[in-house]
Structure 1
Amino acid sequence: MTGNLYRGQAGLPFSSALRIYEPLEAFPEDQQGALRAAGARSVSRAAVENAELLASLGRITRPGGDPFPTGATDLVRVLAVPLAGGTPAAPPAGAPAPETARPERLLYCPSQLVLRAGLAANALMEGIHGPLAQLLIPEEQRDRHQERIDEVRAHSGLGRVHTRASTWGIPFSWFCLFTESDPTDVVESEGRIVTVRIRASIAEALERVRYAVAHLALAAPDLDMLEDLTQLTEWLEFFHPGSVVELDYGAVADKVYPDDSPMDVRLGIECLAEGDMTGAAAAYRRLASRWIPIRQLARAS
């Protein structure tokens, strides 16, 4: 299954995600049953990723040209976390846990494809490619999808989106949430790295991003990254304090891993705070040499 996932991504833009997993009690009661059922099915992570990829490819070739998700096949990612704290662990792929295993609680990250597709379409329309996007996605289809969004909001009252996505590289601000010592899963298949996933508790992530905001506000208030970090902080504050944050590199991991970006971002901010411009510049050069070639692929023909 993992191999199929990698082959299915061939030729597609590199896509990475920042996800929040929340405990069951953080969701509206009318959603909890479906979430609990998703956790009980013990579906492997590879199966979820494959299903989401196949669904997205299916929308592109759907008769009528409507590329928007309907929400009928919305998926849920599940993460098991030890009750007594410690390292979050990926849920077992269908196998029963050994009797000596520590008690675990499940955390959930719904895909929310209807809401996310609407936000992505709005951003596209407002960007420099807006006129082209209006041709590719006619107003009638956008209006139809807005009705889906209104229906989802009316039904569930969702005020927070659990997933942020990025194509052709990972925003440097995301690396502020993690350190090189955080729990990390490296998923490999057929000699390639399919993805790398790093996790941290939301309390740790908030402490780190607030530290970065405080230091950049004093040392480099005009830096674009400061605005990104401020928005990231506000987003994280929407979620339950028992949540876990996950950075999923996606297929770009095969190009950059092992990756020292979390350390380089942290060192760059610390150097700026100490007035060490040479050290900050060196950290940025390391980041640029790693990620600018990836971003240039977006313009390659």
Structure 2
Amino acid sequence: LETVVRENDIRTVISLRRPRPDKNWWRSEKARAEELGLAHHDIGMDLTFSPRIDHLRELRDLIQTAPRPILMHCEKGADRTGLAAIMAKLLDGESSLEEARKQVSLKYHVVRGNSIGIPFFDAYAGWLEQTGQVHTTQRFNYWLDEEYLDLSGNIHFLVDPIRGQTWWRPWGLVEEGFIFDVRRANGATLELSGWAFDTRNEDLLAGVEILLGGQAFGEAQYGIHQPWLGKDFDNPKYLDSGWATANPLSAFADGCYDLQLKFTRLDGSQWTSPAAGRICIGP
């Protein structure tokens, strides 16, 4: 790090990896940045899922306001870094779309066809084509703020463990194929809970509805206080983003059902999640 900083007069370091105070590499990088008088920022982007809008906004703000020159990196300097380089090009007011797209090419060691920067760029370029517009920094900012959708519909959410069968996906989605075994003999009522909030509008939701196999399972109570969320999220509104529901299993025959969540935003718009796992009901 010291050599790169000295040769390029770096003033800010942006790590696109999740901060890991428990890991030597993170503690070492942060300590060295402080010793060199650098501003150091962490944006915990996932390697494979489309980036969350709050992460993209944070990255945009840093690209536009942080002391320059800026060093941006991920683990291998290709996928997440390529996405960040695309954003830097789209925000500089000078680069063309073609120049931005080149940031996720073999020249920069991007070898995966689904590298996260590629669908991100394609979504923006497709929107420009669909609306008959050409790229400008102002149009990119508008698209990011008003049109961009991540895989979670710009809603960050999590479902708590179901009857002790633990899962954990910190970015809000679960792996396809997760199956949860629910036995009627262990209780005729199924309790579900979790938390959810609107990352685009940085606000709470109007409501959460649970679907099993596309069929309504029940409207959840929303607005439950979750003080522990303050450790992970800066917005105090999110502390009241908890939800819970408890309903009898009698309306469902034995079998397996996709678990989905239907979210209603404060403006009345709705988004239904893809399958967040499967619940298999049996005797």
- Identify which of structures 1 and 2 has the higher relative contact order when contacts are C-alpha pairs closer than 8 Å and 6+ apart: 1
Structure whose residues are more often helix by fraction: 1
Larger Rg: 2
TM-score of the superposition, structure 1-length normalised?
0.28
TM-score of the superposition, structure 2-length normalised?
0.30
Structure whose residues are more often strand by fraction: 2
